[in-house]
Amino acid sequence: MGLIGAAKRLIMAKDFNVDSDKSNEGVPCDSVDVSLKEFLIPDYVLSRDAEFEKQSHVPACPVIVFVNSKSGGQLGGELLVSYQTLLNKNQVFDLKEKAPDKVLHQLFLNLEKLKHEGDSLASEIQKKLRIIVAGGDGTAGWILGVISDLNLTPPPPVATVPLGTGNNLPFAFGWGKKNPGTDFESVKMFLNQVKDAKEMKVDSWHVLMRMKVPRESGKSGDCDPIAPLELPHSLHAVHRISQPDALEEEGYHTFRGGFWNYFSMGMDAQVSYGFHTERKLHPEKFKNQAANQSAYAKLTCSQGWFWASLSHPSSWNIAQLSKVSIMKKPGQWEVLPIPPTIRSIICLNLPSFSGGLNPWGIPSRRRTRVKDWTPPYVDDGFLEIVGFRNAWHGAVLYAPSGHGTRLAQARGIRFEFHKGAADHTFMRMDGEPWKQPLPKKEDTVTIEISRFGQVSMLASGNYPAKSVNDPLTPRTPRDGDDSDEESVEEVSEERKKFGAASSFQLPEDFHISQVS
């Protein structure tokens, strides 16, 4: 950051009564601005090896902070320094250095031991704990998956700092979509917002994929993603651990993962894949949010999606690629007719896609009644399923009442791919795209999406996400926009976890910059 950056930090440290010479050792409560005491966690709670110090003050909003230091160009690194200086550095973690599953597992283990020993402070910290995640949607999804897998009690709610390109999760809950300030004043302001934020439940969606993989492409007994597949880190191979599986004996593998915002397939995922591939090859070209968004727009133009009917074969249309079924009632599947011109399909849980746009929009009262739709809530157990014909169709989202082709609301969706004209397609989950191979022989690729519990998010300010359980936030359809538009199941063993913790046993050559 240079001499100027260092000088600024020294001046700001004085403004906040922080001893800059000891900033790397964490900040004791009596040496900081009084309000920062409300967020601090003492060392002995964070580590059993730390010396016990009796604390009289109970923080109102103890936080654990995870920062993707490679997100947002240099902003991630600057934000990491600011949080570590203002708080106890041992409660702020660089995801490049520390895996979140290990951090949270150890923390909750310490808290349970201290509670058993009669420590009332540990009990209060566990009740009030909040998580801050600074990074893109992929980073936030990683943390949410770990919280789901570890079954933390109570599960700490999560606030997201927008450091990525799309920042759909932060926008949906009122944290904005522009990169935040990294100076001390901005960080302190964000901390106070976290303290005052409202907790909301959000549906979690489980993805289960079955596909045939050449036996020679993976090691025996290995459950990591199998080369040469380019699957995202949130979707990984698992062994079937339930009843005997005939498909597995035929060479089929099971992959699973999860999402909270969206799953998409088609042209939007292809553009995203091109962007991530280019960023991986030339990271020096993607140093800030503005440059990233500009590169994204250029890719959309260069790949021909504005003139899709001329530039791309009809075999890329969703109806030609896959048979799509939806579940409107638990256990009851029905085929979903897809208009023949649809080239992209989005399964949306939150009203935020492609940088804060809402593909579902707000249907008229008449259409809602005729289609038997409900308002799109984030915790009602339904996905909103939307289709797009081309990039021009997607551009209408920038209009006040713009929306895609509303296809359905469903409790689950299933894609079945058989041998066809295309040998691959593109998919994306919460900002992570991949190139999905399709069957070349008489095989089948099946992807099934179903609801899997809920997580807790923190919402601040004026946010578009709406809860079915909050009487203050219900959103009813309004007139206008009347244009034409085309029982509890038994949970099997392979669906009992997202697997986020095990999926992030990262390979040695992995760089955190690969996660948005």
Instruction: Tell me the sheet residues that pair with 405.
Output: 387
Task: Give the 3-state secondary structure of 27-91.
Answer: CCHHHCCHHHHHHCCCHHHHCCCCCCCCCCCCCCCCEEEEECCCCCCCHHHHHHHHHHHHCCHHH
CB of 300 closer than 8 Å to CB of 278: no
> Are 429 and 441 in a shared domain?
yes
In a domain, 183, yes or no: yes
User: Do 166 and 243 have their domain in common?
Assistant: no
Number of independent structural domains in the chain: 2
Last residue of a domain, one of 202, 236, 265: 202
Final residue of a structural domain among 168, 202, 236: 202
Question: Looking at the structure, do residues 185 and 298 belong to the same domain, yes or no?
Answer: no
Distance (Å, whole) CA 176 – CA 179:
8
In-domain check, residue 312? yes
Q: Is the separation of the CB atoms in 103 and 143 below 8 Å?
A: no
- Is the same domain home to 141 and 242? no
Residue 98 · residue 504 · CB < 8 Å: no
- Do 237 and 383 reside in the same domain of the chain? yes
Question: Is residue 294's pLDDT more than 90?
Answer: no
The β-bridge partners of 238 are 254
If one compares 310 and 436, the residue with the highest pLDDT of the two is: 436
51 with 165, same domain: the answer is yes
pLDDT at 217 over 50: no
**Listed range (226-240, 388-402, 484-498) with the worst mean pLDDT:** 484-498
Q: What digits encode the pLDDT tens for the residues 34-68?
A: 589 999 999 999 987 777 777 778 999 999 999 99
Q: In terms of domains, do 38 and 146 share one? A: yes
Q: Residue 187 sits in which domain range?
A: 34-202
Provide the Cα torsion 12, 13, 16, 22; round to 10°: 170
How far apart (Å, rounded) are the C-alpha atoms in residues 184 and 190?
10
Give residue 20's pLDDT band: very low, low, confident or very high (50, 70, 90). very low
Secondary structure (3-state) at 495:
helix
pLDDT tens-digit profile of 151-189?
A: 888 899 999 999 887 788 999 999 998 888 899 999 999
Name the residue with higher pLDDT: 301 or 363: 363
> Is the pLDDT score of 228 beyond 80?
no
499: alpha, beta or left? (left if phi > 0; alpha if psi -120 to 50): left
* Neighbour tally for 464: CB within 10 Å: 18
pLDDT of 289? 62
Contact (Cβ atoms closer than 8 angstroms) between residue 160 and residue 200:
no
Task: Examine the pLDDT at 197 and tell me if it is beyond 90.
Answer: yes
95 plus 243 within the same structural domain: no
- Alpha-carbon distance of 105 to 176, in angstroms, equals 30
What's the angle, vertex CA 448, arms to CA 139 and CA 329, rounded to 5? Answer: 115
Is 344 a residue whose pLDDT tops 60? yes
* 69 domain-assigned: yes
Is residue 223 in some structural domain?
A: no
pLDDT band at 358 (very low <50, low <70, confident <90, very high): confident
Q: 72: phi > 0 → left, psi -120 to 50 → alpha, else beta; which?
A: left
Asked if 172 and 274 sit in the same domain, the reply is no
Out of 153, 168, 202, a domain closes at 202
Pairing of strands 432-437, 323-329: unpaired
Judge whether 18 lies within some domain.
no
The CATH number given to whatever domain includes residue 131 is 3.40.50
194 plus 211 within the same structural domain: no
pLDDT, tens digit (0-9, with 9 covering 90-100), for 240-293? 545 555 555 567 888 888 899 999 998 888 888 887 777 777 776 666 666 666
Residues 394, 258 share a domain: yes
Write down the residue that tokens 């050792």 correspond to.
25
Q: What is the reported pLDDT for 243? A: 52
Q: Higher model confidence: residue 449 or residue 362?
A: 449
Query: What's the CA angle centered on 356, arms 355 and 359, to 5 degrees?
Result: 105
Specify the pLDDT at position 26.
46
d(CA 456, CA 41): 21
- Counting beta carbons within 10 angstroms of the beta carbon of residue 162, is it exposed (0 to 12), middle (13 to 18) or buried (19 or more)? buried
256 Cβ neighbours under 8 A, 6+ residues apart: 206, 207, 208, 209, 235, 236, 238, 494, 495, 498, 499
DSSP 181: P
pLDDT bin (cut points 50, 70, 90) of residue 220 is very low
- pTM for the structure as a whole: 0.79
Q: Check residue 302 and give its pLDDT.
A: 59
CA separation for the pair 503, 343 (Å, rounded): 30
Strand, helix or coil for residue 512: helix
Within a domain: 275: yes
DSSP letter at 287 equals -
Whether the predicted pLDDT of 77 surpasses 80: yes
For residues 258 and 204, the answer to whether their CB atoms sit within 8 Å is yes
Residue 27 lies in a domain: no
Q: How many helices (H) and strands (E) does the chain have?
A: 16, 17
pLDDT of residue 274: 81
Look over the chain and give the mean of its residue pLDDT values, rounded to a whole number. Answer: 78
- Do residues 233 and 189 both lie within one domain? no
Q: Do the Cβ atoms of 4 and 11 come closer than 8 Å? A: no
Least confident of 115-124, 262-271, 492-501: 492-501
Residue 9 lies in a domain: no
Q: Is 506's pLDDT higher than 60?
A: no
Residue type, 211: M
Dist. CA 40–CA 360, nearest whole Å: 41
Q: Are 146 and 497 in contact (CB under 8 A)?
A: no
The answer to whether 335 and 325 have CB atoms below 8 angstroms apart is yes
pLDDT greater at residue 464 or residue 481: 464
Q: pLDDT at position 352, please?
A: 87
Token pair of 488 as six digits: 């509890």
Longest dimension (CA), the chain: 71
In whole angstroms, how far apart are CA 413 and each of 93, 323, 439, 450, 500?
37, 11, 20, 7, 21
CB atoms within 10 A of CB 296: 20
Residue with structure tokens 């079924």? Answer: 325
